[in-house]
Chains A and B, each alone.
Chain A
Amino acid sequence: MAATATAPSVARPRSIRSRQTRRSLLMSIAEHSLLIVLVVCFLAPFVFILLTAMMTNHQALSSDLWPSPFVPSNFVKVFEEAPIASYALNSFTYASLATVGLLLSSIPAAYALAVLKWRGRGVVMVCVLVAMMLPEQVTIIPVYVLFSKLHLVGSVAPLIIPNWFGDAFSIFLLRQFFLTIPSEYGDAARVDGCGELRVLTSVYLRLAKPAIAAVALFSFFYCWNDFFGPLIYTSENPANWTLSIGLSQFRALHQVEWNLTMAATLLFMAPVMAVFFAAQKVFIEGVTLTGVKG
């Protein structure tokens, strides 16, 4: 009885294991080939955009995939065809001024919400969350009316100003990070006679550097890539077009010049990619922060 019971159970592990190794080998081959296919699909658009950007105009309209001859001068020609430098300056003005204002107004609010105890804090937190969740378009019309009454439509000011008055998403993100800082650090500073503002600047700002860096990068990228805002506020005045508007119009003005359009597209992507590779760690950690704490 016992022998018959043990015999198969001795034999089984080996056959299971060999079947399992074969299966896991097949699984691993399948997984890796799937990954390779996905990587190719993800990189291919960049490669084709780059190749097309270096074609002659004639070739870009054919079904050729490989440029011959290579025309890297397209990247220079783009600057002659459209005021790319001016677009870039407008984008940079928008992104940098908005980001500075966003940090100056959101950090104090996040600190008050995370560290200080006061009546009404819960209600305010709910307001921040609601403002964060709702689509930006639900408030766009009265805000537009407001800025048009102030005669600011046509400039980048309407894009920048709201950022100086706190951004819900940034406040939320920073608050979540401030909450992870042990209150003992702040208390120690208070015992030493620091006021709340000193505690914020000398304790919390220092400890929250990675989160602040992430928020700043997100804000900068959001503004740099923003299309809806600049479309509404600057389209009537080409002198204030940002890169996103300029590029979307570029194609309309240069109907069939796919090569130049792709070169301009790459020039638009380049700074973002460069910043990303320089600050990759901050970025990935920041993105992770939005999800895990959300």
Chain B
Amino acid sequence: MSAAVAADTRARARTRAQWRRRRTVALLMAPWAIGFSVFFAYPLLASFYYSFTHYDLLSPPTWLGLANYEYLFKTDPQLWTAVKNTLWLIAVMVPAQVLFAMGVALLLSRARRGAGALRTIFYLPALAPIVAATLGFAYLFNPANGPVNTILSWFGIEGPLWLNGASTAKPTLVLLGLWSVGNLLIIFLAAVLDVPTTLLESAELDGAGAFRRFFHVTLPSISPVLLFAIVIGVIDALQYFTQAYVAAGVAQGGQAGESAKALGYPEGATLFYPIYLYEQAFGRFNMGYASAMTVVMLIVALALTGLILRNSRRWVYYQGETR
């Protein structure tokens, strides 16, 4: 009988301990749980609802059915400009940044002296607040009297219009993107320095040249970081906003005042998806239409990351894995 009582109290103690543990977990996770519901889960659902309505913030949303999506996919001419420009970023800027960061990291990993100072120099631009960096670039590349075109003129080259030219605006933004690639560079550098030297040495002994060593040893070793860089790059490209917004505003200069601003100056060349989203939501207060845009953005972001991650198994090599 005493054994039964003891077992009973033990069981009760165990449940009590279990409750206490659950309470601890609930307490620790509570702030996140509230934040996730209020600032993430609810907004996702609400966006979905708003996307079927006309909503200008002043009067309550009115149901429109699929009208927003119909306009978005079939009629809106500016949307396609925005989509094309954003796709351009993914196709050109992301690979440029990834390859550049990887290349400079490889160079830095071979530098014998001053590696620390070099690393700092290449990281510095990434620290500059984006608005500051963009303003600086807008000045450097301004076609009237900017230092870049001044220096080009010494060599008898007439500098392009840079941020003021429809065909050069996006490439100029890529240059800005390369200048501030520091974070990625540091990540690549750490990965390159992590490549087992024994593997590199034995490859060299086997007569592999620099290129073969890179493609057969270094590249497979850093492939997880490469994947990370591409995924992050694509996500960043989808939400590319500040640089384009500030650069277009500065380049446009003359016609001051928010209302006079042509969208995506010059000639829609910098009208990226988030810029257009911002204009629809906070410039024209078309919250319903803007919500439809965010729903499309959400689906594209999920699909792209899913696609990249699914295909990664083919080429990403994790250390210790056999195949």
Contacts and interface: CB of A to CB of B under 8 A. Distances in A.
Interface of A: 27, 31, 34-35, 38-39, 41-46, 48-49, 52, 61-63, 65, 104-106, 108-109, 111-112, 116, 118, 124, 127-128, 131, 133-146, 148, 162, 164-166, 171, 195-197, 200, 221, 224-225, 227-228, 231-232, 243-244, 247-248, 251-253, 255, 258, 261-262, 265-266, 268-269, 272-273, 276, 280, 284, 287-288, 290-292, 294
A68 to B, nearest CB: 15
A16 to B, nearest CB: 10
B203 interface: no
B225 A127 contact: no
Interface string B125-160: 101111110011101100011010011010000000
B-side interface mostly: helix
A189 to B, nearest CB: 14
Nearest to A244: B131
Nearest to A167: B35
B235 interface: yes
B11 interface: no
A136 B42 CA distance: 14
Given A105-B31, A118-B25, A248-B131, 4 more contacts: A45-B137, A63-B150, A139-B44, A142-B50
B277 to A, nearest CB: 6
B135 A139 contact: no
Interface residues of B, number: 93
Contacts of B84: none
B39 interface: yes
B239 A137 contact: yes
A166 B32 contact: yes
B46 interface: yes
B253 interface: yes
B187 interface: yes
6 contacts: A43-B121, A52-B139, A105-B32, A135-B238, A268-B132, A269-B127
Given A251-B249, A258-B139, A272 B128 contact: yes
A289 B37 CA distance: 28
A277 B25 CA distance: 39
Contacts of A288: 186-187, 190
Contact of A165 (B38, B119, B305): B38
Interface of B: 21-22, 24-25, 27-29, 31-32, 34-36, 38-40, 42-44, 46-47, 50, 57, 104, 107-108, 110-111, 118-125, 127-132, 135-137, 139-140, 144-145, 147, 150-151, 153, 179, 183, 186-188, 190-191, 194, 210, 225, 228-229, 231-232, 235, 238-239, 241-242, 245-246, 249-250, 253-254, 256, 274, 277-278, 281-282, 287, 290-291, 294-295, 297-298, 301-302, 305
Nearest to A268: B132
A225 to B, nearest CB: 4
Contact of A141 (B147, B210, B291): B291
Contacts of B28: 108-109, 111-112, 116, 196, 200
B256 A61 contact: no
Given A142-B42, A280-B120, A232 B282 contact: yes
Best-surrounded residue of A42, A46, A284, A290 (most CB of chain B within 10 A):
A42
Contacts of B231: 133
B31 A133 contact: no
A106 B32 contact: yes
B107 A31 contact: yes
B29 A108 contact: yes
A27 to B, nearest CB: 8
Contacts of A105: 31-32, 35
A180 B118 CA distance: 30
Nearest to A227: B242
B219 to A, nearest CB: 16
Nearest to A277: B120
A27 B28 CA distance: 56
A243 B129 contact: yes
A224 B129 contact: yes
B188 to A, nearest CB: 8
Contacts of B125: 42, 45-46
Contacts of A292: 187, 190-191, 194, 225
Contact of B131 (A165, A200, A268): A268
B207 to A, nearest CB: 10
A135 B239 contact: yes
